[in-house]
Structure 1
């Protein structure tokens, strides 16, 4: 369908292999992608994962011998029935695709591992989500970290995120009732620990126009008064944010959760036309200064949870989220990697793998990619799993993490990275916040030479 050199339909592809005396036959590309995936409880729940390790290896062998054109010509959800597929396919540029289409997925893996960041950036626009997900399934955890580190991506809202040598954080001051005093106590504490250079972004307990407007106004008043160079965002539904923006709320970033299929996005109450309208409205009325002003969150498993997975695996669907996000040139994207629960990522091992996959896939897509390194309390995961993933991602130059008081979100009821974790990760990696933010922290006596001072954590800085 999409191959300029004539196409390679599924009937002409080799969809079987012999391994240790057994023949493994797969019916189509979608099944190969699903069974080549590393073990995920979500794929098992959907009945599409490999039944044995041998079957998984066999699927990886078959996948490695497919060409990138095979993956483009066989999206996991048909072009005719899914607008996410259409967005991704229509965005592919012919020149970049021509350089890649005849590579096998195995050869593409080797190309990624041996190439520099500029070479990889040059081919991004020739990729579809299925290509990106496919090569991810052939990569080890070390491969994913090594490759992601080469894939620098910057974006500019009020400030620029993703510059070399920086590690940013979203200050997430959630409150169970959106009480402004409680929210602002968390904001002041977070800033006093050097958190919040990516964004001050709150998940509201109540999705109302007045509430969102009040929170955005409070954030803007605080950052203006104390000359804190950052961005504000309230992560309500996009339609509520649009109404608040139309009524004059000072909005730097507009947010929405995304899924990798049209059906699951409809379950979120969105479609491409709505997102296009939101982008245009934000472009006209935003309070930020730069060209990147959208914020998206994703997470493996959301499509299955809403019945919109279309028989596709959760890694491939996650890559499709990033293909949709790319349309809007976002300032921030992050995967909330362990938030949905054990039905999709059962334990710490699966959570760590998913975080590394998502980070790599987002950056290969061309997004300024962060990770909410988190878990819910009914998962078979703990704080050590969380910290292991954060350290590994920091090594791979993850753009930003969350910053929450004590790492315990009292509104969403899950565990993630704390203000203190962010400080420790910066010291371990020798990284600093975004330049203008770091300079302001030094002016306030909170940081010195990129490190926290003894004054860190002193909220009285902002109460005088």
Structure 2
């Protein structure tokens, strides 16, 4: 598929849909590293002009990765609602954008539409949207999921407590979890990134987090973010897990570089449904992040925004409880500075929501990136306005194990206060019962992890 346009007297010609999609991206250091980015702002604008006139049927008829050769492509194709697709196949990407942004269309309308769109179509729409467009569109969409508890209701902002410890010390992890809970953080999940990926260690962390939940009757869920095979072994040996975790990527070659396959994910689904400790139907926690395919040389000259959208096409196969993009974690090779991180966070959140996913964002950056904590404050505020399902908190915004910067527990409490948002309903009731909140506001006990020693 060749496309061209004349912009300000200069002709721009694009040899393929893959090239149009890549060059229509906002500036992205990962695309520059891959050698597929627009050469300048004029070429980027020309690509956006061309992309706006591409029809949805053209996007489907010119696959970036053939379903016969790539399992992620096959899953995206098989998951398409053909009746919805047929009704919109003649739309241009510009038509799709206008429909999404129309005040006449509700969140339910967008969720229905999303079932008939491929991941590439959703990515294409994101590329011709402004940051405010991305916020407006995503804010319409409410996605409620149920593991042990429910999250995602309008007017709420859930949070994952991430009480990591550099040596997986159980008491150190517990102390950090107490601090999170004392700020009202942890309604989405108490989730640990382990240092030691052995069956026994994963089991010990699952048991410790579950013990905290049971001891204080906390309406939340637990998870340990090790490789899915380690979790499978721990769960088969009786470790209590509400959720099972895995990172995803947007091509078959990339997920294979993670040491996983679709059949392995299907096996894990069956296991967590049979032996998991949750009561609800949504039992997956999935993570993504722009740039992972390029880092494993599994991008096939596809841009990182489109590949990220394809992650969500794979994710919706598993009906997850939580999905989040760890937006600034990989580093400046893929997102160079705060402007790129903020744009990526808004893109990912919108694209995930259009796939019908309960999207969260780890609002984060690495220390060698051109960004700081004020930038994370800005992005978290934008995401709260966009209706993000959950964000992640670590002690003092500094993860001592993963060595990156995120949001602190008290940042999330402040964000809720400023944006007039609440924790998930059952969690808020629990906070009121134990005295961390009073009449919808944090009490004098808030921020004091030692308070939980008085409740034990």
Quote the residue 1:189 is aligned against.
Answer: 179
CA contact (8 A) 1:373 1:402 kept: yes
| Alpha-carbon distance in 1 for matches of 2:212, 2:191 | 14
SS at match of 2:88: coil
| Alpha-carbon distance in 1 for matches of 2:306, 2:223 | 29
The reply to whether residue 455 of structure 1 matches residue 412 of structure 2 is no
1:297-316, Cα deviation, whole Å (9 max, x unpaired) = 00000000011001000000
Quote the residue 1:64 is aligned against.
Answer: 52
1:438-453 equivalence runs, <5 A: 438-453=428-443
| Alpha-carbon distance in 2 for matches of 1:449, 1:413 | 37
Runs of 4+ in 1 over 3 A off after TM superposition: none
- Of 40, 54, 57, which aligns to 2:42? 54
Structure-1-length-normalised TM-score: 0.96
SS at match of 2:242: coil
Quote the residue 2:87 is aligned against.
Answer: 99
Quote the residue 1:75 is aligned against.
Answer: 63
The reply to whether residue 245 of structure 1 matches residue 245 of structure 2 is no
CA contact (8 A) 1:433 1:450 kept: no
CA contact (8 A) 1:423 1:451 kept: no
1:124-148, Cα deviation, whole Å (9 max, x unpaired) = 2101110000000000000000000
| Alpha-carbon distance in 1 for matches of 2:449, 2:90 | 58
- Of 257, 278, 288, which aligns to 1:267? 257
Question: Considering only aligned residues, what root-mean-square deviation do their CA atoms show, in Å?
Answer: 0.8
| Alpha-carbon distance in 1 for matches of 2:111, 2:230 | 35
1:329-375, Cα deviation, whole Å (9 max, x unpaired) = 00000000000000000000000000000000000110000000000
1:390-431, Cα deviation, whole Å (9 max, x unpaired) = 011011111111111101000000000111111111011111
Quote the residue 2:75 is aligned against.
Answer: 87
Unaligned 5+ residue runs, structure 1? 1-9
| Alpha-carbon distance in 1 for matches of 2:5, 2:220 | 53
CA positional deviation for 1:449: 2.8
- Of 192, 203, 209, which aligns to 2:193? 203
1:229-264, Cα deviation, whole Å (9 max, x unpaired) = 000000000000001010011000000000001111
| Alpha-carbon distance in 1 for matches of 2:118, 2:196 | 37
1:225-304 equivalence runs, <5 A: 225-304=215-294
- Of 412, 416, 419, which aligns to 1:426? 416
Structure-2-length-normalised TM-score: 0.98
Task: Report which stretch shifted further, 121-130 or 288-297.
Answer: 121-130
1:46-445 equivalence runs, <5 A: 46-114=34-102, 115-445=105-435
CA positional deviation for 1:98: 1.2
CA positional deviation for 1:212: 0.8
| Alpha-carbon distance in 2 for matches of 1:459, 1:67 | 55
1:257-303, Cα deviation, whole Å (9 max, x unpaired) = 00001111011001111101110111111100000000100000000
SS at match of 1:106: helix
The reply to whether residue 37 of structure 1 matches residue 25 of structure 2 is yes
| Alpha-carbon distance in 2 for matches of 1:459, 1:388 | 27
CA positional deviation for 1:165: 1.0
1:166-193, Cα deviation, whole Å (9 max, x unpaired) = 1010000001100001000001111111
Aligned length: 452
| Alpha-carbon distance in 2 for matches of 1:74, 1:272 | 24
| Alpha-carbon distance in 1 for matches of 2:440, 2:227 | 36
CA positional deviation for 1:75: 2.3
CA positional deviation for 1:450: 2.6
CA positional deviation for 1:227: 0.6
| Alpha-carbon distance in 1 for matches of 2:109, 2:185 | 33
SS at match of 2:413: helix
SS at match of 2:450: helix
Quote the residue 2:4 is aligned against.
Answer: 16
1:214-236, Cα deviation, whole Å (9 max, x unpaired) = 11111111111111000000000
1:20-52, Cα deviation, whole Å (9 max, x unpaired) = 111111111000000000000000000000001
| Alpha-carbon distance in 2 for matches of 1:100, 1:179 | 54
